[in-house]
Amino acid sequence: MMFSATLDSMAFQLDDAQKTTRFAITQLDSIGPLTWKSAAGRAFYERVLELSSWLERLNQELSESEAYLSAAIREIQELESQIVKQKMAF
């Protein structure tokens, strides 16, 4: 029971991280249409693109982590169910 609560908490935190990452990507993408005439502006925009790319990779990793976490939640629920059944048998 405690493990399920911990994993559920992790799932909520993971979901929040994904939402925040997607929001950041959207905000960075909104910079794209601006015209960058100065060298410093173009350098800034290059860094924005790098950061956006890094966030996209992070978001992919978070999605993969979510899949692993879902599998762990299912396994813990099954183990907890078996424990309850064994307790009931005694």
Q: Which domain holds residue 36?
A: 2-89
CA 11, CA 62: separation in Å to the nearest integer?
Answer: 10
Q: Is the pLDDT of residue 1 over 80?
A: no
User: What's the rounded mean pLDDT across residues 15-43?
Assistant: 91
CA 56, CA 36: separation in Å to the nearest integer?
Answer: 23
Instruction: Tell me the pLDDT tens digit for each residue of 40-55.
Output: 988 999 999 999 999 9
- CATH number of the domain to which 66 belongs: 1.10.287
pLDDT confidence bin for 63, thresholds 50/70/90:
very high
Please state the domain count of the chain: 1
pLDDT, the chain, mean: 91
Q: Which residues of 44-63 are buried (b: 16+ CB within 10 A; e: fewer)?
A: ebeebeeebeebeeebeebe
